[in-house]
Amino acid sequence: MVDKEKIFAIGSDHAGYALKEVIKRKMSQSGYTVSDYGTHSEESMDYADAIHPLARDIHEGKVTAGIILCGTGNGVSMTANKYSGVRAALCWIPEIASLARAHNDANILAIPARFVGKEVALEMVNAFIDTDFQGGRHEKRVKKIPIPERM
């Protein structure tokens, strides 16, 4: 799904910081260009401050895809999904990460850092990166996600 030449965005709040660092290191070792939108320590901060710039860059097409983390994954995904063209999927097992790509054409993987371990998180990242959107009937459904015009 994601070309190694393309920039992969990563961002978290303090609760996701440690796991973000693990994922970032692993992805860089695997040859991906990872752009880190913060946060840069475990000091308490507001997830929206890291996620708005990341989601805006995906919305504007400057970045292909992203990974976002907070304690539950909810705050970061709610923030990211405010941007049209952003489809952030909250995932907790690799199968859901894979289906989020295959069926929903998700362009952001949202991880609940306080509820998944490193191994599962890295497996989810691999599943997300390795899975292509299936298109077909799912394409029609994904196209209906944006708020429709009133009839």
Binding site for ligand RB5 (CB under 6 A): 13, 15, 47, 70-72, 74-75
CB of 59 to ligand RB5, least distance (A): 21
List, in sequence order, every residue forming a beta bridge with 7; answer none if it has no partner: 33
* Cα-Cα-Cα-Cα dihedral sign, residues 15, 16, 22, 24: negative
CB of 78 to ligand RB5, least distance (A): 8
Helix axes 94-102, 118-130, angle to 10 degrees: 20
CB of 86 or CB of 129, closer to ligand RB5: 86
* Residue 70: active-site member: yes
CA proximity to 114, closest of 69, 59, 77, 149:
69
36 vs 8: CA distance, rounded Å: 9
CB of 66 or CB of 75, closer to ligand RB5: 75
CB of 5 or CB of 43, closer to ligand RB5: 43
CB of 115 to ligand RB5, least distance (A): 9
* Residue 103: active-site member: yes
